[in-house]
Amino acid sequence: MTTFYYSSNRTLYQYGPPVAYTLVYGFIFLYFTIMWTKSKYWWFNIMFTFGFLFKFGYFLISILVLEAYATWIFSIVAYVFHYIAPVFVMSGVYYTVAKLVVAYGREFSALPPIWWILVFTTIDIIVLSLQGASIGVYASYAYDNSYDVARGLEIAKVTIQLVEIIIFFILWFHFLSRVYFGTTSNGPNRAHAHSANVFNFFRLLFNVSSVRHYKGNYLDRKFNTRYVNIRHKTLFAWFPLAITIVIFVVAVLSIFRIVDVSYDFDTRTRRILDQLLVYVFSATAMSVCGIVFVLFHPYWVFGKDNQVSIVGGSRSNSESFRVNGLEEGSSEDNSKYVF
């Protein structure tokens, strides 16, 4: 579990990482706050702004704790910030995945767009509840085996997280494989279609120069015609890679957490692992996520108007449906109606 050390018991990781991450998260939080003036992607705005506000607050409080300026109440607040921040941020990530599914075509995804948000955010909330229960049991000393119970809850939590990541990767790569290689009546014919293999998959994912003509002139024919202009935006072609990077980093963090809680280490090793978890894996993972979405904010990827609607529509006919009485793709600005 995450541990705070006061000035009388400082570890190897003292001021450097907390100050550095406070500055990084402060910049990311400020950026997403400023983007409220432009972005109409309200769910993303709320999730990322509050998520990185919590991360900024966590490291700011950790500096105060190191200087013994903060009471134990601040430490509790920091604990809360530390554990709820990823739930907010990842919900914003799932939101952008849902947008991407609609922009390509709902029929390519095994899940309806809104389910990407509902299913994985619900799992994250369950994981957060297990984390809270683990901390509560560990701190209460209500019975002799409280430590073992807390450790069991921790293992259950990180196991669920790892299973969640595995399921997400399966669904995500299934979606991308259908986008890149799935056949439709409007798609490229066999003479132009790329073979479905790992090499071509990663060429398309990394958007190398040799496949850009193919993607824009042949592959794009099978996608949702409502959003052809969005798909031709420069950043859109790189967006699947950006999301893959974020999820990969989160997966590495989940694996480390399983190692951290699955073995009994001596006190010194435990302290080092806790510090690595907080200041290297967890903080770096969230920093990478924040920086990626500074560059790939939905405002830059999908456009200034929030026209890609997650709710409504069907897998069989994704082009003809209405959002709060307005037809999708209408010339009227319906951004305020779109989730």
Distance CA 6, CA 242 (A): 38
Distance CA 141, CA 63 (A): 28
- Quote the crossing angle between the two packed helices 113-140 and 72-104, to the nearest 10°: 160
pLDDT at 322 over 50: no
pLDDT at 329 over 60: no
| Average pLDDT along the chain | 83
Which pLDDT band holds residue 328 (cuts at 50, 70, 90)? Answer: very low
CB-based contact 339:311 (threshold 8 Å):
yes
In a domain, 327, yes or no: no
In a domain, 277, yes or no: yes
CATH number at residue 230: 1.20.1070
Positive or negative CA dihedral for 230, 320, 172, 290?
positive
In a domain, 79, yes or no: yes
- The range of the structural domain enclosing residue 172 comes to 15-185+194-309
Distance CA 10, CA 291 (A): 30
In whole angstroms, what separates CA 229 from the centre of its chain? 25
For residue range 212-256, list pLDDT tens digits in order.
989 988 899 999 999 999 999 999 999 999 999 999 998 888 887
Lowest mean pLDDT among 63-67, 109-113, 293-297: 63-67
Distance CA 267, CA 279 (A): 18
The conformation of residue 185, written as its DSSP 8-state character, comes to: T
In a domain, 314, yes or no: no
In a domain, 9, yes or no: no
Which pLDDT band holds residue 142 (cuts at 50, 70, 90)? Answer: low
pLDDT at residue 65 in the model:
75
Distance CA 80, CA 90 (A): 16
pLDDT at residue 73 in the model:
79
In a domain, 35, yes or no: yes
For residue range 150-186, list pLDDT tens digits in order.
888 888 898 898 899 999 999 999 999 999 998 765 6
pLDDT at 326 over 60: no
Q: What is the pTM of this model?
A: 0.87
User: In the chain, which residue ranges form alpha helices assigned H by DSSP?
Assistant: 16-34, 42-66, 72-104, 113-140, 146-181, 198-205, 209-217, 228-231, 239-262, 267-276, 283-295, 298-301
Structural domains of the chain, count:
1
In a domain, 39, yes or no: yes
Which pLDDT band holds residue 7 (cuts at 50, 70, 90)? Answer: very low
In a domain, 125, yes or no: yes
Answer with the residue of higher pLDDT: 248 or 259. 248
Q: Which residues contact 5 (CB under 8 A, 6 or more apart)?
A: 11, 65, 66
For residue range 68-84, list pLDDT tens digits in order.
555 677 878 888 999 99
